[in-house]
């Protein structure tokens, strides 16, 4: 469509346009038919879209808070079930073919933001000793009560890992750095988490 500005004549007797009203535009459609370029309903639709975008941003911002994840894993449909597992983005089974086997028996692997994924079992099957970290105390309490012998757990923020340099042959992040990015630190937080993952990775290791 081609837009043109309609001439507005304010001769004596004409009603003046209301203050703040949009300019009167006309859209020329097929065969020169005049179509309205603006209607009050368009403003309502725009307001609804903006409100939904704001709600979505608020939900995403919560992902960066440990309190959010404590409440999330306190949900009876989640961490309360000892056999319950949960995956983000893709399954541990799907990752199995992509992840390298341990270069030597029981070299250490680190899972950032382990959640309820059975990825630890997958890595154990590849010959690793597995360390899992998460920011949720509620989750870790549940995991430690049901911990398999091949996994150890630690309360830790991916941005400030409590491990020495070069201690892990493999570091796995599955959605955690993305989650950190949703928090108050944004891109800086995500960059810090990535830097920490590189710091604790052994020379020649895999991230």
Contact 139, 111 (CB under 8 A): no
DSSP state for residue 30 in the 8-state scheme = G
pLDDT value of position 168: 97
Q: What is the pTM of this model?
A: 0.68
pLDDT value of position 12: 43
- Starting at the earlier edge strand, list the strands of the sheet with 108-112: 151-155, 129-134, 108-112, 168-173, 201-206
pLDDT value of position 91: 81
Q: Is 169 helix (H, G, I), strand (E, B) or coil?
A: strand
Low-confidence residues of the chain, pLDDT below 70? 1-42, 53, 55-61, 75-85
pLDDT value of position 148: 80
Q: Distance between alpha carbon 43 and the CA centroid of its chain, in Å?
A: 30
Q: Which secondary structure element, helix H or strand E, spans residue 35, and what is its range?
A: strand 34-36
- Starting at the earlier edge strand, list the strands of the sheet with 2-5: 2-5, 25-28, 34-36
Distance of alpha carbon 97 from alpha carbon 133, whole angstroms: 23
Other CB atoms within 10 Å distance of the CB of residue 60: 14
pLDDT value of position 72: 83
Contact 128, 108 (CB under 8 A): yes
pLDDT value of position 79: 46
| Residue among 134, 123, 140 nearest 161 (CA) | 134
pLDDT value of position 160: 95
Q: How many residues make up the chain in this entry?
A: 207
pLDDT value of position 175: 84
Cα end-to-end span (Å), the chain: 51
């Amino acid at each position: 469509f081609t837009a043109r500005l309609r001439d507005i004549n304010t001769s004596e007797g004409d009603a003046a346009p209301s203050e703040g009203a949009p300019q009167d535009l006309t859209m020329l459609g097929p065969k020169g038919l005049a179509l309205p370029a603006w209607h009050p309903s368009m403003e309502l639709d725009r307001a609804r879209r903006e409100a939904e975008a704001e709600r979505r941003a608020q939900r995403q911002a919560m992902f960066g808070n440990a309190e959010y994840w404590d409440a999330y894993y306190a949900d009876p449909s989640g961490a309360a079930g000892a056999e319950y597992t949960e995956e983000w983005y893709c399954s541990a089974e799907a990752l199995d073919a992509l992840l390298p086997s341990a270069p030597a028996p029981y070299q250490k692997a680190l899972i950032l933001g382990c959640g309820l994924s059975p990825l630890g079992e997958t890595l154990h099957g590849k010959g690793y000793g597995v360390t899992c970290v998460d920011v949720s105390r509620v989750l870790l309490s549940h995991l430690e009560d049901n911990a398999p012998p091949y996994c150890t757990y630690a309360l830790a923020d991916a941005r400030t890992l409590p491990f020495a340099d070069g201690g892990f042959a493999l570091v796995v992040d599955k959605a955690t750095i993305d989650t950190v990015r949703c928090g108050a630190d944004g891109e800086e937080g995500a960059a810090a988490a990535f830097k920490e993952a590189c710091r604790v990775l052994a020379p020649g290791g895999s991230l």
